[in-house]
Amino acid sequence: MSIKPNALIWLWLSAAVIVLDQLSKVWALQALPPVGLPHPVIPGFLNWTLAFNTGAAFSFLASGTGWQRWFFVALALVISSMLVVWLARTPRRDWRTGMPLAMIIGGAVGNLIDRLHAAQVTDFIQVYFRQWSYPVFNLADCGITVGAVMLIAFGMFAGNAAGKPAGSVR
């Protein structure tokens, strides 16, 4: 019985996302003005704005009494573990699955490190236009979002080996 190479090699990308995320957060903590004071990067569109989030996306559950920290730690561990198992079961040649999963894992672990270390996630990227502003986020969030979008897009638009569109019956 031969063992087929799996997509765990993509964990190098997870490690890169984690390192870039953590380095960018160290920079943000050292270089940016105090919380909430924007530093314009592209006026009218992009600021560096230091913020801390004890909740999840869009500060979901941020007003909790502290239990949410451990909930999100457990959630990140469970989901990351499941995605690593998925990678282990994915053929190495399937980069359309390996790359997005690795980005999601890297982002989840990047934010997990913050939660374990500081009980909050450091955010600093603010995109806005006029009165509209997207919630402040970080590179780990980018990894999760881009990975999820890629996974969905590749799943929707991928053809099978016979060249038939995904979801076709035959």
Q: Give the per-residue pLDDT at 163.
A: 46
Given a cut of 90, is residue 90 above it in pLDDT? yes
- Please check whether residue 102 is in contact with residue 11, taking contact to mean a CB–CB distance below 8 angstroms: yes
Q: Which of 78, 150, 79, 68 is nearest to 115 (CA)?
A: 68
Banded model confidence at residue 168, pLDDT cuts 50, 70, 90? very low
**Token pair 């996974």 in the structure block, residue:** 151
Q: At what angle do helices 139-157 and 11-31 cross, to 10 degrees?
A: 150
Average pLDDT, the chain: 88
Q: Which residues are catalytic?
A: 123, 141
Residue range 60-76: mean pLDDT, rounded: 76
Q: Which of 63, 56, 52 is nearest to 123 (CA)?
A: 52
Buried b (16+ CB within 10 A) or exposed e, 15-51: eebbebbbebbeebeeebeeeeebeeeeeeebbbbbb
Q: What does the DSSP 8-state code read for residue 98?
A: H
Q: Give the per-residue pLDDT at 142.
A: 97
pLDDT in tens, 2-27: 677 999 999 999 999 999 999 999 99
Residues 6+ apart with CB under 8 A from 102: 10, 11, 12, 13, 14, 17, 87, 147
Q: Give the per-residue pLDDT at 158.
A: 74
pLDDT in tens, 50-62: 999 877 665 656 5
**Token pair 């960018």 in the structure block, residue:** 24
Q: Give the per-residue pLDDT at 64.
A: 59
Banded model confidence at residue 148, pLDDT cuts 50, 70, 90? very high
Give me the residue spans of the domains in the chain.
7-157
